Amino acid sequence: MGREQPPQQQQVAYTVEQLVAVNPYNPDILTDLENYVNEQVSSQTYSLDANLCLLRLYQFEPDRMSIPIVVRILIKALMAMPAPDFSLCLFLIPEPVQMDEQIKTLIVLSHYLETARFRQFWDEAAKNRSVLEVVPGFEQAIQAYAIHVLSLTYQKVPRAVIAEAINIEGLSLDKFIEYHMANNGWVLEKGHSHSQLIVLPRNEFNHPELKKSTSDGMPFEHITRIFPILS
């Protein structure tokens, strides 16, 4: 009989998230994280933790930093607004790298979004379409953010304001409004001079009276305990 061979050790495959959780400062996972950024772009998924981990590794391995990867991370972070992901990522990027023209453009775009200057945003985005088009879904994500901002600000919003905020007009805007009327509770209303107003769903920001009181109230059971003491 031949000598029995010892069983081979089974190789375990880890996901990127597991690698980040187990050893986030291991430079050996840097390439995996870069590939994962490209996977997020192609699959239209998003992992802030993995991207922050990669940016931290770049700080320790500056010679391995890939500007195209950093740009994609920042674009994905912009798409996550109103979450503060862009600022979190930018904090980990050295100032000299922030001077790259593409990154400077993204910083300007983030400022326009944070200040709700949507017309300026779309004008600047149009000038840098080649930078932004590498990440599918960018335009739709920003449109969703713009609608989010409007819903916090307006009870009724003119059609022209929506058109400017999402950079859509004509039949495309009609379809956009019809979709939200059917799915998100928008209501179309006639304004002055045949203009259109869109009535947005009520929330605690555009209808402050809906905001729950933050004052500390006394629970009913505490009140009932006081009655015997007062009697």
In terms of domains, do 38 and 128 share one? Answer: yes
In terms of domains, do 109 and 202 share one? Answer: no
pLDDT on residue 14: 73
In terms of domains, do 47 and 77 share one? Answer: yes
Question: Could you list the residue range(s) of the whole structural domain that residue 71 is in?
Answer: 12-136
| Each residue's pLDDT tens digit, 118-141 | 999 999 999 999 999 999 999 999
Q: Model confidence at 17, in pLDDT bands (50, 70, 90)?
A: confident
| Each residue's pLDDT tens digit, 41-70 | 999 999 999 999 999 999 999 999 999 999
In terms of domains, do 131 and 178 share one? Answer: no
| Each residue's pLDDT tens digit, 172-229 | 999 999 999 999 999 998 877 677 899 999 888 887 776 665 445 555 455 445 444 4
What global pTM score does this model have? Answer: 0.83
Domain count, the chain: 2
3-state secondary structure the chain: CCCCCCCCCCCCCCCHHHHHHHCCCCHHHHHHHHHHHHHHHHHCCCCHHHHHHHHHHHHHCHHHCCHHHHHHHHHHHHHCCCCCHHHHHHHCCCHHHHCCHHHHHHHHHHHHHHCCCHHHHHHHHHHCHHHHCCCCCHHHHHHHHHHHHHHHHCCEEEHHHHHHHHCCCHHHHHHHHHHHHHHCCCEEEECHHHCEEEECCCCCCCCHHHCCCCCCCCCHHHHHHHHHHHC
